[in-house]
A and B are shown apart, each in its own frame.
Chain A
C-alpha cells in the first residue's frame, strides 16, 4: 500500500533528526501521538503537534509517560497507527506498558532519543546506554524490534519502516536514536507519496462469531481487530488463549509466550537489516550502530591508511540481533571492535555470537559526547596485533579514560 499524499510533506528539507522522525511518522499514516515532553526529544513531538492537526493526526500531551504509553496502546486498539516519543527517564517509566503492548500484540512505535544516563544524567547530551533496556526493559519474556538510525534522512526513512514492521509483526517497535542524531541537522529528502510503501493493519474481515484475536496466521502473527466493530473483544494482559480469555495453565503459558518470542525470532531474517562493507576479507570488523557508526567511519579510515584490512558492520536493526551473520563473520575475521556510548551492552551480544572464534574489543564511552575516532583506530590496531585469542572481552582504554581517571579505578588492598 502507498502512503496517503496528504500525509507526506514531499520536498527537500534541511531539518534535524527529531523533526524528520515526526514527519516520517505522519507519512507512515500515524494518526495518534501521545507524549510528555522530555529533552532531547521535544522537537519530534513539536513537529507532530504542528503538522499533525493539518493531516488529521491527533496529539495529546499526557500527564506523564505512564499515561502516554497507555494511551497509545489504547489508541492502537481503536484502529489507528500510534507513536510516543521520549528519552531516558520517560523511557524507564514506559517499560511496564511496553511489555503490556507486546503481550497484547499491539503495533506501535516508540521513538527514544537517548540521552546521557543513568537517572536524570546529562539531559542535553548523547548516550547509547538504553540499548539493552530496549531489549529487556519490561518484565517477562517477549521480543520486539529496535532500529538505530544514524542520520536525519534515516530518521525519516526508518520511522516509516518502524511503523511497517510494527503492523507486520503486531509488536512494539523502538527507534533507538540518540541526541546527536536527533539534533543533527542535515538534508532530508521526502519523496512523493507513491514512493513510500506503508503496511496497512492486518485486520480481521471474516464473520464476527469466528474471530479469535490471538489465533496465529502461518507467520505466527494473528489478525488484529479494533474496538467498536461488535466483536466483543476480551483483551487482557493476563496470559490468554486464542479467544483472549485468561488461562493459568503452565503448558499453555509456555506455548503462548513461546509464540510471542518466536514470531520475532523465526522471522528475524526478514526483519534484520545490516550495512556491511568490506567484511568478507577483513581482519578486523567494526560493529556499531546509531551515531557511533558515523564516528567509526573516521576511525576506520585512519586504520585503513595504516594498511589494516578493516570491514564495517552497522546494525540498523539492533534487535533482533543478527546471531547467524555475526557467528559466520567471527570464523573469518580476527577480531570485532565495538564502539558504543556506554560501558558495554551490545558488545556482549557480539561476544556471545563470536563463540570465542574472534577477539572482541569494546571501545567504551561514558556518554555526553561521542568517541574520539583515534580511539577507534587504535582499538582496531590493537585488535589486529593480537595474535592469540584473548580470553573474554577486552576493554580498550580510551584517551578520555586515561586522562580523566588514569586508566581506571582500582580497589585498594
Chain B
C-alpha cells in the first residue's frame, strides 16, 4: 500500500495537477496520515462503491480529478466499473490486485485470495486490462508494486486522460501473507522478477496464467468522448440555448465547438 501511495504521490506531482482538486475514493481504508501527506481529499466508501461514489463526486463537481482505489475490483461493485468504462466516466481507477501466488508450494499458480480457502482456488481469475479495454476504458496498464517509476509515470499519464483509465497494481495483502509465513518483500520481489514489460501488448494476451511470465506495461491508450462530453453534445443538440453545458469552463468551449455533434 505504501508503495502505491508513494507512486500516487509521484504521479500527481509529475502530472502537475493541483492536489486540492484531487479526491481519492476507496473501499479499503487508507491511513489518515498518508492521505494528509498526499494533500488530497479522501473518502472511504462501503465495499465496492468507490467507483459509483466517485461518479457522483465527478458529476457534482467536474473540475475534480477522482481516483477510485479499489481492492477486489470485479467482485463487489464490478458493475460500476463495467458501466463506468462504457460511459467513459472521467475516473482513474487504481485496481490493487492482491491475489495469491502460492509460492509457498513452489508452484506459481494464480488464484484470487487462495489463502481464504484451505484447498486453494480453482476459478479462473479476471484479466483486468482486457476487461477494462473491452468496457471502453481509454487507458489500461498493469504494473507490480515494485515498478515504482513506471507506475508513477502511468498515474501521471492517466491523470491527463479524458475518460476512464485503469491501472492494475499487483501487490501483496500483508495481513494474509503473514499468516502463511510469506514475507511481503520477498513476494513483491517474486512478482517483479516474474514479470516482463510489454507495452502496447494486446490486452487479450495479458491474462495471468501462472505458467508464463506476468505481462506488465501500458496496454490501452485511446480517445473517446467522455460521459460529460456526450451529455453536453446531446442536450445542446436538442435543447439549444436552453441548455448550459456541464463541466469546467475550459471544457464547455469544446462542446460549443460542436465536438462529435
A positions within 8 Å CB-CB of B: 31-32, 34, 53-54, 56, 58, 60, 62-64, 66-68, 70-80, 82, 96-97, 100, 226-238, 243-246
Contact = CB atoms under 8 A, between A and B. Distances in A.
B142 to A, nearest CB: 24
Contacts of A31: 60
A223 to B, nearest CB: 16
B20 A230 contact: yes
Nearest to B48: A66
A54 B239 contact: yes
Interface string B39-83: 111111110110011111111110110000000000001011011
B64 A228 contact: yes
Given A58-B231, A235-B43, A80 B60 contact: yes
A228 B36 contact: no
A54 B52 contact: no
B56 A227 contact: no
12 contacts: A32-B59, A58-B231, A66-B77, A67-B49, A77-B56, A78-B64, A79-B61, A100-B49, A227-B64, A228-B64, A230-B19, A238-B44
A278 to B, nearest CB: 46
B21 interface: yes
Contacts of B227: 60
Given A63-B80, A74-B60, A238 B55 contact: no
B46 A75 contact: no
A227 B82 CA distance: 25
B210 interface: no
A372 to B, nearest CB: 43
B53 to A, nearest CB: 4
Contacts of B36: 232, 234
A71 B52 contact: yes
B57 A100 contact: no
Interface string B231-250: 10001000100111010000
For the residues of A in contact with B, the DSSP-based class is mixed
B25 interface: yes
A75 to B, nearest CB: 4
B57 A78 contact: yes
Given A32-B59, A63-B82, A73 B41 contact: no
Interface of B: 19-21, 23, 25, 29, 32, 35-36, 39-46, 48-49, 52-61, 63-64, 77, 79-80, 82-83, 227, 231, 235, 239, 242-244, 246
Nearest to A54: B242
Nearest to B59: A58
A95 to B, nearest CB: 11
A228 B29 contact: no
Contact of A67 (B40, B79, B235): B79
Given A31-B60, A60-B227, A237-B44, 16 more contacts: A32-B60, A54-B239, A60-B59, A67-B49, A70-B46, A75-B57, A79-B61, A80-B60, A227-B61, A228-B20, A231-B41, A234-B32, A236-B43, A237-B46, A243-B32, A246-B29
Given A53-B243, A66-B49, A75 B60 contact: yes
A74 B57 contact: yes
A77 B58 CA distance: 10
Contact of B46 (A54, A77, A100, A226): A100
Contacts of B58: 78
Contacts of A75: 56-57, 59-60
A197 B214 CA distance: 60
Contacts of A96: 46
B170 to A, nearest CB: 26
A228 B21 contact: yes
Given A71-B52, A246-B29, A229 B20 contact: yes
Contacts of B80: 63, 66-67, 70
